[in-house]
């Protein structure tokens, strides 16, 4: 029996992921890379679902700890509230995160 946390996605996360995949598909002309990124994002989130608080905390914003998941050239930010792992953002790893989340 597993005690996985529920996963909730913010609208910002989906908007950012859509923007990233749109760029990869349309500007870079690489559908395979875009599809691979989405699959890797799903896999890494599912890996964290069982125990999302067991990883290093990134920072506190609005009273919640943020955690990071690295996927290829991107970083996913999430919080844990009660039994919910809330996926908030996905950013290119070389951006200044302090102003982005």
How far apart, in Å, are the Cα atoms of 92 and each of 51, 54, 82, 97?
A: 25, 24, 28, 9
Domains along the chain with CATH numbers: 6-99 (3.30.2310.20)
Determine the distance from the C-alpha atom of residue 86 to the mean position of all C-alpha atoms in its chain, rounded to a whole number.
9
Per-residue pLDDT band for 71 (boundaries 50, 70, 90) equals very high
**Against a cut of 0.75, is the pTM above it?**
yes
Per-residue pLDDT for 79 more than 80? yes
Percent of the chain with pLDDT over 70: 90
pLDDT average, residue stretch 70-86: 95
* pLDDT per residue as tens digits for the range 16-44: 999 999 999 999 999 999 999 999 999 99
């Amino acid at each position: 029996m597993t005690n996985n946390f529920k996963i909730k996605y913010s609208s910002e996360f989906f908007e950012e992921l859509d923007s990233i995949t749109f760029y990869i598909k349309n500007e870079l002309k690489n559908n395979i890379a875009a599809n691979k990124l989405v699959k890797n994002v799903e896999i890494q989130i599912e890996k964290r679902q069982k125990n999302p608080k067991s990883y290093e905390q990134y920072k506190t914003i609005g009273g919640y700890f943020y955690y990071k998941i690295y996927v290829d050239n991107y970083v996913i930010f999430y919080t844990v509230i009660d039994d919910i792992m809330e996926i908030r953002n996905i950013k290119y790893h070389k951006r200044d995160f302090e102003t982005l989340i």
